[in-house]
Structure 1
Amino acid sequence: METHDRILAAAARVFAEHGYAAGTTNRIAAAAGHSIGSLYQYFPNKDAILAELVTAHAESGIAAVTRRLEGGLPESLDGKIRVFVRAAMDNHRDDPALHRVLFEEAPRPPDLLAMLHTAEEQAIEAAQALLAEAPEVRVADLAMAARLVVNSIESLVHRFYAHGETEQAERFENELVAMLHRYLTC
Structure 2
Amino acid sequence: MEFILEAAAQLFDRDGLAATTNHIAERAGVSIGTVYQYFPNKQALLYALALRHVEATRARLTVVLAELRSREPPFADTMAVLATEVAALHHDRPRLHALMHRHAPRVPAGLAVLGALTDRLIAEVAHHLRRCGRGDADATVTAATLVHALDAQLHHVLLDRSDQVDRLVTLALAITDAERPD
Is the alpha carbon distance of 1:120 and 1:170 closer, same or farther for their aligned partners in structure 2, counting shifts above 3 Å?
A: closer
State how far apart, in whole Å, the 2-side matches of 1:123 and 1:38 are: 37
What amino acid sits opposite 1:176 in the alignment?
L
Corresponding residue of 1:118: 116
Is the alpha carbon distance of 1:170 and 1:85 closer, same or farther for their aligned partners in structure 2, counting shifts above 3 Å?
A: closer
State how far apart, in whole Å, the 1-side matches of 2:166 and 2:65 are: 23
Corresponding residue of 2:51: 55
TM-score by length of 2: 0.86
Alignment check: 8 A CA contact 2:146 2:172 kept: no
Alignment check: 8 A CA contact 1:96 1:161 kept: no
Alignment check: 8 A CA contact 1:64 1:90 kept: no
State how far apart, in whole Å, the 1-side matches of 2:157 and 2:63 are: 22
Superposition map of 1:1-186 within 5 A: 4-20=1-17, 22-71=18-67, 72-135=70-133, 137-162=134-159, 164-166=160-162, 168-169=163-164, 171-186=166-181
Deviations 1:66-114 (Å, cap 9, x if unpaired)?
2323433443111112222122111111111100000013322221112
Alignment check: 8 A CA contact 1:43 1:49 kept: yes
Alignment check: 8 A CA contact 1:24 1:46 kept: yes
Q: Partner of 1:161: helix, strand, or coil? A: coil
Is the alpha carbon distance of 1:51 and 1:132 closer, same or farther for their aligned partners in structure 2, counting shifts above 3 Å?
A: same
Alignment check: 8 A CA contact 1:8 1:49 kept: yes
Alignment root-mean-square deviation, CA: 2.1
State how far apart, in whole Å, the 1-side matches of 2:143 and 2:169 are: 19
Is the alpha carbon distance of 1:82 and 1:140 closer, same or farther for their aligned partners in structure 2, counting shifts above 3 Å?
A: same
Alignment check: 8 A CA contact 2:146 2:175 kept: yes
Report deviation, 1:170: 5.0
Structure 2 unpaired stretches of 5+: none
Structure 1 unpaired stretches of 5+: none
Deviations 1:125-171 (Å, cap 9, x if unpaired)?
22222222222x15222121010111122221223433x222x2454
State how far apart, in whole Å, the 2-side matches of 1:143 and 1:175 are: 19
Q: Partner of 2:105: helix, strand, or coil? A: coil
| Count of residue pairs the alignment pairs up | 179
State how far apart, in whole Å, the 1-side matches of 2:123 and 2:87 are: 20
